[in-house]
Chain A
Amino acid sequence: MKKIFSRPKSLKKAVFHYCPGCGHSIIHRIACEAIDELGIQEKAIGVPPPGCSVFAYYYFDVDMVESAHGRGAAVATGIKRAYPGAIVFTYQGDGDLSAIGTTETLHAANRGENITAIFINNAVYGMTGGQMAPTTMLGMKTTTSPYGRDDRFEGYPIKMSEILGQVRGTCYIERVAVNSPSNIRKARKAIKKAFQCQIDGLGYSLVEILSPCPTNWKKSPVEAWKWVGEVMAKEFPLGIIKDTTGKSDAD
């Protein structure tokens, strides 16, 4: 019998601690698939953030180092500069990358640091209990925007990927989602392409992934998947934001 599906080699055999319907476990898996396909498990160094995915090192079977909140891009810069032979990636949430770590992210991108960011956008602070994030939708209720995010007081959802697209040091930025089998396949391709950019030495690459957080959104997993497509993707349109590689597809 032909084996057509198995656990990725770079994904540890462990039970995910993530909530039912959470996007992290899917993203971990497809990132590991990309790592396997490119054969970079032995070179990869991941930088997970504080937050739900702080335990990413229990799942990724690659070297990993925890970063302080928001500092992933600076830590990754230090690793890559000290040891350019590594394939360095950060795994960052929306609060991490587009609030507390905006400066580190923007400047690492602007220096064209040859690193890859996997940017999870679920519109809330997950681990701390569902507070408003910089990417929270207008009108969306969170524990710190209990009346719904109001632009008069809380401003607008920030589009870091578009901002980073303006920066010359970035080579590839795409926004994807993990809310349907076909979108998950696209997300895997995008992650693989982002790693390929780093292998080719092209500069800073980033994949933003719209990811469901059913627990904090107070929705069922199915409702959360739908909400990603029907609401989030309207504010954060899917697709390539910047691509200087000249290749339309990683495959």
Chain B
Amino acid sequence: MNKMLFTGNAAIGEAAVRAGCQCYFGYPITPQNELTEYMANNLSRRPGCTFIQAESEIAAINMVYGASVAGVRAMTSSSGPGISLKQEGISFLAACQLPAVIVNMSRGGPGLGSIAAAQSDYHQATHGGGHGDYRTIVLGPSSVQELADLTYRAFEMSDKYLIPVMILGDGMLGQMMEPVEFKYEAPEVLPVRADALRGAKGRPSRFVRTFTSNPSELEELNWSLFRRYQLLQKEEVSFENYLTQDARLIVTAFGIGARIAKGAIKQARGYGMKVGLFRPITLFPFPREQLKELAKTTSYFLDFEMNMGQMIDDVKLSLEGAGEVSFYGRPGGVIPTSTELLRVISRIYSQKGLG
């Protein structure tokens, strides 16, 4: 095992290069600049590859769109405000069924907000984000190793399902350093999709478009996307169960929030409280069935997020009333401690008479 020390942002960059990402287009915004800088260092002079510091987030996502049309693996990254600007392009990517990887190392909002880590972009990420009836696949890593692994998976899934994939990290995950193992080598020949637009040589000309004057045709597209989302729900959900088997109270949390929750749960276990963690790794598709399964053995859930409660909607929809859900969250880029969460866990544990 060859482990290296990487920041989360750089780990995404290295993983993307190894996944055969040929084009990266970005625009500076904190807290994800290390990724843009990593790509400037490692992709811009790589044979056949392209790095552009674009004039805006809008330009960057549209460059991704162009590169994806030409059949190569392309990515962009940003944070909150920049991700908002990219939404037009993401909607077009979804409509044209083009793969792309978009990284959001999210920060506190709304507005310019703060540059501290937050999870306030969950709704935007998991509900499409832009105009129209579409979703993106959303992955929620909670360690640098997982960032690397999920970056590779993001490119694979995006190519397989022809749906843009968003990696929803946060400022803390992006900037902290952890040992990471890259489990694959960069391909010698960069992958090119078979349906790429590369000129009508030896085949009839093709076009890629979103606009149609025929609503029935557009309805068909929406159905086709919807069927793929159903397939994702069946085939691609991933999650982590941590000490849930005997748990009387289950914390639901994702990303960096889940790391904090794990610390609190370890401490709670030390005090004899039977607490576990359910962590969705795919935020869309959300592991609905797997969460509901847990309601067979426990009736109490505590949703914990670094926002005012966004994933809690998915938690409640998944449970379909099968459990009682409490909430604890800190918005705006405030980083709660595990001790703070432990106090909330202890209070609920005793109030509900779980001890």
Number of interface residues of B (CB under 8 A): 41
Is B232 on the interface with A (CB-CB < 8 A)? no
Q: Is the CB of A78 within 8 A of B67?
A: yes
Residue of A nearest to B50 (CB): A81
Determine the residue in chain B with the shortest Cβ distance to A88.
Answer: B66
Partner of A75, one of B23, B66, B210: B66
Which listed residue, A42, A57, A71, A77, touches B52 by the CB 8 Å rule?
A77
Shortest CB-to-CB span from A95 to chain B, Å, is 16
Residues of B within 8 A of A50 (CB): 211
Please determine whether A71 and B74 come into contact, CB atoms closer than 8 angstroms.
Answer: no
Given known contacts A75-B66, A81-B52, is B207 in contact with A66 (CB within 8 Å)? yes
Q: Is the CB of B210 within 8 A of A83?
A: no
| Known interface pairs A75-B63, A81-B23, A81-B63; A64-B58 also in contact (CB < 8 Å) | no
Q: Name which residue of chain A comes closest to B95, CB basis.
A: A66
Residues from chain A with Cβ under 8 Å of B207 in the complex: 57, 63-66
- CB of A104 within 8 A of CB of B50, answer no
Known contacts A77-B52, A82-B67, A82-B70, A66 near B211 by CB under 8 Å: yes
In the complex where A54-B211, A61-B205, A82-B67 touch, is A74 in contact with B62 (Cβ < 8 A)? Answer: yes
Q: Which residues of B contact A64 (CB under 8 A)?
A: 197, 205-209
Given contacts A63-B199, A107-B59, are A68 and B89 in contact (CB under 8 A)?
A: yes
| CB interface residues, A 190-214, toward B, < 8 Å | none
A103 within 8 A of B: yes
Complex contact B67–A79 (CB within 8 A): yes
Docked complex Cα distance between A79 and B165 (Å): 20
Question: Contact string, B51-87, partner A, CB cutoff 8 A, digits 1/0?
Answer: 0101110111011111111111010000000000000
CA–CA, A127 and B193, complex, Å: 34
Known contacts A61-B200, A83-B70: A78-B65 contact under CB 8 Å:
yes
Using known A-B contacts A64-B205, A66-B209, A68-B62, determine if residue A78 contacts B197 with beta carbons closer than 8 Å. no
Please indicate the chain A residues that have their CB under 8 angstroms from the CB of B66 in the complex. Answer: 47, 65, 74-82
Instruction: Give chain A interface residues in 56-113, CB to chain B under 8 Å.
Output: 57, 60-68, 71, 74-83, 85-87, 103-104, 106-107, 111
Query: Cα distance A77–B23 when bound, in Å?
Result: 11
**What are the residues of chain A within 8 A of B254 when measuring CB–CB?**
none
Q: Does A135 contact B (CB under 8 A)?
A: no
CB within 8 Å: A-B pair count: 139
- Name the residue in A62, A75, A104 with the highest tally of chain B Cβ atoms < 10 Å from its Cβ: A75
- Tally of contact residues, A, Cβ under 8 A: 37
Contact indicator A78/B198 (Cβ below 8 Å): no
Query: What CA separation (Å) do A78 and B93 show in the bound complex?
Result: 13
Contact, CB under 8 Å: B58 / A78? no
Q: How far is the CB of B164 from chain A (nearest CB, A)?
A: 14
Counting chain A CB atoms within 10 Å of each CB, the highest count among B22, B200, B207 belongs to B207
Whether the Cβ atoms of A86 and B199 lie closer than 8 Å is: yes
A176 at the interface (CB under 8 A from B): no
Contact in complex: A107, B200 (CB < 8 Å):
no
- A-side contacts of B200, CB under 8 Å: 41-42, 44, 61-63
A82 lies within 8 A of B199 (CB)? no
The answer for the CA separation of A106 and B56 in the assembled complex, in Å, is 12
The winner among A41, A45, A50 for most chain B CB atoms within 10 A is A45
- Assuming the contacts A54-B211, A57-B207, A75-B66, asked whether A82 and B54 have C-beta atoms less than 8 A apart, the reply is no
Q: Does the CB pair B62–A63 fall under 8 Å?
A: no
Complex partner residue of B68 from A60, A66, A77, A78, CB under 8 angstroms: A78
User: Hey, which chain A residues are within 8 Å of B64, CB to CB?
Assistant: 78
Q: Does A159 contact B (CB under 8 A)?
A: no
Residue of B22, B23, B58, B63 most packed against chain A (CB within 10 A): B63
Measured CA separation A122–B210 after assembly (Å): 25
- Please name all residues of chain A whose beta carbon is closer than 8 Å to the beta carbon of B23 when the two chains form the complex: 78, 81-82
Q: Does B314 lie at the interface of the complex (its beta carbon under 8 Å from any beta carbon of A)? A: no
Residues on B with C-beta less than 8 A from A218 are none
- Contact across chains for A68 and B201 when beta carbons are under 8 A apart: no
A104 to B89, CA, bound (A): 13
Is the CB of A43 closer than 8 A to any CB of chain B? yes
* Residue interface bits B227-260, CB-to-A below 8 A is 1, else 0: 0000000000000000000000000000000000
Q: A63 touching B205 by the CB < 8 A rule?
A: yes
- Give residues of chain A (137-187) contacting chain B, Cβ–Cβ below 8 Å: none
Any A CB within 8 A of the CB of B155: no
Q: Assess whether B197 is in contact with A43, with CB atoms less than 8 Å apart.
A: no
Q: What mask results when residues 185 to 224 of chain B are scored 1 for a CB within 8 Å of chain A, else 0?
A: 0000000000011111110011111110000000000000
- B-contacting residues of A (Cβ < 8 Å)? 41-45, 47, 50, 54, 57, 60-68, 71, 74-83, 85-87, 103-104, 106-107, 111
A–B Cβ pairs within 8 angstroms, 11 of them: A43-B199, A44-B200, A54-B209, A63-B198, A71-B62, A74-B54, A81-B67, A82-B72, A82-B74, A103-B55, A103-B56
Residues of B within 8 A of A (CB): 22-23, 25, 50, 52, 54-56, 58-60, 62-72, 74, 88-89, 92, 96, 196-202, 205-211
The 10 A-B pairs with the shortest beta carbon distances in the complex, nearest first, are A78-B66, A74-B62, A57-B207, A107-B55, A78-B63, A82-B70, A82-B67, A42-B201, A66-B209, A75-B66
